[in-house]
Every structure is written in C-alpha cells, then in structure tokens.
Amino acid sequence: MAVSKIKSTCALATTETIIDKVVIGYKEKRTFFRLFALGDATYLAETEATIKTGVRLEEIMPEDVIIEGDRIELTLPAIQVLNFDYPFDRVKVNEVASRNALFNNVTVADEEKFLRLAESDIRAHLEYTGIVKQTQDNVRSMLLGILTQIGYEEIYISFKTDELIQQIEIPEELRSPKEDLESDD
C-alpha cells in the first residue's frame, strides 16, 4: 500500500529555482592575417533560467523499499532536473553597455553563441546551488507526511546519487580563444 501510494504521485516536482545570470560576451575582429585590430564588440545581457527538480517516483524498485512492522526504509531515485527553461524572450540586452565597433558587430549568431555558453555554464554549476539538498528536504517532508498518515512510526529516506543534469557539450567551433564568455551569477 505504501509503495503504490508513493508511486501514484509519479514525477514529484518539488523545487523550482530561478537563476538570474549576467552574460558578457566579447568579440574581437582582426584583419590582414590577424595583424590589425578592427575593434572589439561587447555584449551584455541579463537572463533568467527556471529549473524544476524532483524525483521520478515511478522508478522505485521493490528492492528500494524495506518494511518491517511500523518501520519503513526507502531508497529513492536520484534528484533529477525535470524541466530546464532558459527562454530567449526573457533576455534583456543592456544597450548602454553593449557596443559594436565600426567594423565589428555582435550578430544574432554571436548572441546565440553567448547564450548557449551561458546555459551550459548554468547547467555545469547547478549542483553547487544547493538545489539537490533543498529538493531532497522537500521530498522527505512530503513523504514523511504521507507515510506517517499510513501508520509508519520509523521512517528512513535516502537517495541514490547520480549526475543531477546531463551536461550539454558545446561544439569546439562555437568556442574560440578570442571570443570568450564571462558570467556573474
């Protein structure tokens, strides 16, 4: 009964986190075999990512649940990112700080590149935001309520560990030593 009640909630999205990110991009343009600089273009924008994390309870296996009388021990699947939203329509370009050089402009392709690198950076640093611990705390709290109502007096909940989010590989052709990305979370 306990397992079926837990599994019936399926994907349990328990934490929504909003991450604000400042994206700074530089673009250098040179000519004549890279001897003469034509000017640097800069790009500055504020962006926002919304991340929903939780546990896919339908992945609980019979060996993940140990019941002995009024004692239950659960080993839940690892915390996962259930939804990662980094919408382009929430990008606010700072027109004052962003500038184009006379012969060097930040194009839409450059802007997309800077934003893709920023998304990759957010994903790479998600585990350091405390989102995993907060989600685990939320899941524990919700399940403690359910399992206490069913009648369990001793409840132990642990989580399997796994990579929080699959990393996005940025193709090498999008990266260049002269066009860099800096960020400030």
Return the structure tokens found at 64: 């993940």
Q: Average pLDDT of the chain? A: 77
Query: Which carries the bigger pLDDT value, residue 79 or residue 103?
Result: 79
Q: Calculate mean pLDDT across residues 82-104.
A: 75
Residue 137: pLDDT band (50, 70, 90) is very high
In a domain, 167, yes or no: yes
Is residue 155 scored above 90 in pLDDT? yes
The backbone torsions φ and ψ at residue 158, rounded to the nearest 5 degrees and listed phi first, read -130, 170
Q: Quick one: pLDDT at residue 136?
A: 92
Q: What percent of the chain has pLDDT over 70?
A: 69
Structural element, H or E, at residue 53: strand 36-56
Return the structure tokens found at 88: 């382009």
Task: Report the alpha-carbon distance of residue 175 to residue 166 in Å, rounded.
Answer: 20
In a domain, 184, yes or no: no
Residue 3: pLDDT band (50, 70, 90) is low
In a domain, 23, yes or no: yes
Is residue 8 scored above 90 in pLDDT? no
The 10 Å CB-count burial string (b at 16+, else e) for 12-22 is bbbbebebebe
Burial zone of 156 (CB within 10 Å; 0-12 exposed, 13-18 middle, 19+ buried): exposed
Return the structure tokens found at 48: 């926002």
In a domain, 185, yes or no: no
Out of 4-13, 37-46, 57-66, 115-124, least confident range: 4-13
In a domain, 85, yes or no: yes
| Nearest C-alpha neighbor of 155 from the set 79, 78, 68 | 68
Q: Is the dihedral of CA 66, 1, 155, 76 positive or negative?
A: positive
In a domain, 122, yes or no: yes
Strands 71-76 and 154-159: parallel
In a domain, 182, yes or no: no
In a domain, 132, yes or no: yes
The DSSP result for 135-164, as a single string, is HHHHHHHHHHHHHHHHT-SEEEEEE----S
The total number of structural domains in the chain stands at 1
Task: Report the alpha-carbon distance of residue 42 to residue 24 in Å, rounded.
Answer: 7
Q: Which residues, 6 or more positions from 46, have their beta carbon under 8 angstroms from its beta carbon?
A: 20, 21, 22, 23, 91, 92, 94
Q: Quick one: pLDDT at residue 75?
A: 93
Task: Report the alpha-carbon distance of residue 133 to residue 104 in Å, rounded.
Answer: 45
Residue 39: pLDDT band (50, 70, 90) is low
Q: Quick one: pLDDT at residue 108?
A: 81
Q: Which domain holds residue 120?
A: 2-175
Query: Which carries the bigger pLDDT value, residue 98 or residue 146?
Result: 146
Query: Which carries the bigger pLDDT value, residue 145 or residue 5?
Result: 145
SS (H, E, C) 158-173: EECCCCCCCCCCCCHH
